[in-house]
């Protein structure tokens, strides 16, 4: 990593390969575990760090916490479980209980065809506007967090939303999001897949955050994986 970390720097990291990523059933979206390969990816990621982060955060979902743990153990640190980092949960957790990703695809297609930034399914699902609001709150929290290096273990669509929103945040507000914005994000996410344990670095500058490209060079050939 070439960053000097003399300013507020955030390294976003997707979780390792999960049971859901390889077609397994999920009792709950938050409780999905890593596969053996996902655990190995997390170990390789832990060895990549050029120095200890100043803080390690993970989402409330188990797979990010298990991905963060090897890094925390290497540096003798604690993982902070942070609100607002969880994956975009636009499908009902109750309806999705004990399902495979392939079985959820019709529900996914139906959700995105609605193109309604405020639509929420029942039972704890969130809207697209809710997702962007979470990202916006997190960026504001980081901006108040001072200098240093923050390692943030999260999820693919959440990371995509960070990059997408940073490119629009100066001209838009969460309240002003439209159907067009939702279509824009869907296209952006399809064009910018996030591999398991991929890194995206944000460098805080006076003009705002600069987003560096996604990297997964800590994994050797044959270890890389991507399934949404």
At 5 the pLDDT is 41
Instruction: Identify the helix (H) or strand (E) that includes residue 68.
Output: helix 62-75
Percent of the chain whose predicted confidence (pLDDT) is above 90: 78
Q: Give the pLDDT score at 4.
A: 42
SS3 content of the chain, % helix, strand, coil (to 5): 40, 15, 45
Q: What pLDDT shows up at residue 227?
A: 67
Per-residue pLDDT reduced to its tens digit, 22-40: 999 988 888 999 999 999 9
What's the average model confidence in pLDDT over 145-166?
Answer: 94
Spatial contact of 145 and 151, defined as CB atoms under 8 Å apart:
no
**CB count in 10 Å sphere of residue 116:** 14
What are the CB-based long-range contacts (under 8 Å, 24+) for 73-82?
73/46, 74/46, 74/47, 74/49, 75/49, 77/52, 77/53, 79/153, 80/55, 80/56, 81/57, 82/57, 82/58, 82/138, 82/152
Region 122-147 average pLDDT: 90
Query: From CA 195, how far away is CA 197, in angstroms rounded?
Result: 6
Look at residue 143 and tell me whether its pLDDT is greater than 90. no
Which domains occur in the chain, in start order? Answer: 8-87+128-211 (3.40.50.1240)
Q: Which two tokens stand for residue 116?
A: 């309604």
Count of other CB atoms within 10 angstroms of residue 40: 17
Q: What is the mean pLDDT of residues 158-182?
A: 96
The torsion angles phi and psi of 190, rounded to 5 degrees, stand at -65, -35
pTM: 0.93
Residue 83 in this model has a pLDDT that exceeds 50: yes
**DSSP 3-state of 26:** strand
Give pLDDT tens digits for 91-122: 998 888 899 989 999 999 999 999 999 999 87
| Positions of E strands within the chain | 8-14, 55-58, 80-81, 148-154, 199-205, 208-211
Q: Which range among 7-21, 45-59, 85-99, 203-217 has the greatest average pLDDT? A: 45-59
88, two tokens:
């975009």
């Amino acid at each position: 990593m070439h960053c000097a970390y003399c300013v507020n720097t955030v390294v976003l990291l997707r979780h390792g390969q999960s049971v859901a990523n390889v077609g397994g059933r999920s009792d709950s979206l938050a409780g999905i575990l890593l596969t053996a390969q996902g655990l190995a990816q997390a170990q390789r990621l832990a060895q990549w760090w050029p120095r200890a982060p100043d803080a390690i955060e993970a989402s409330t979902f188990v797979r990010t916490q298990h991905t963060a743990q090897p890094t925390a153990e290497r540096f003798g640190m604690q993982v902070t479980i942070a609100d607002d980092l969880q994956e975009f949960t636009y499908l009902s957790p109750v309806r999705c209980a004990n399902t495979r990703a392939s079985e959820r695809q019709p529900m996914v297609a139906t959700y995105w065809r609605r193109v309604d930034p405020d639509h929420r399914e029942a039972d704890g699902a969130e809207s697209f506007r809710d997702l962007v609001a979470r990202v916006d709150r997190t960026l504001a929290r980081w901006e108040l967090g001072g200098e240093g290096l923050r390692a943030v273990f999260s999820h693919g669509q959440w990371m995509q939303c960070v990059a997408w929103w940073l490119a629009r945040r100066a001209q838009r507000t969460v309240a002003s999001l439209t159907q067009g914005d939702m279509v824009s994000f869907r296209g952006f996410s399809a064009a910018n897949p996030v591999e398991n344990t991929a890194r995206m670095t944000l460098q805080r500058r006076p003009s705002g955050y600069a987003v560096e490209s996604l990297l997964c060079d800590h994994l050797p050939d044959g270890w890389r994986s991507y399934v949404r």
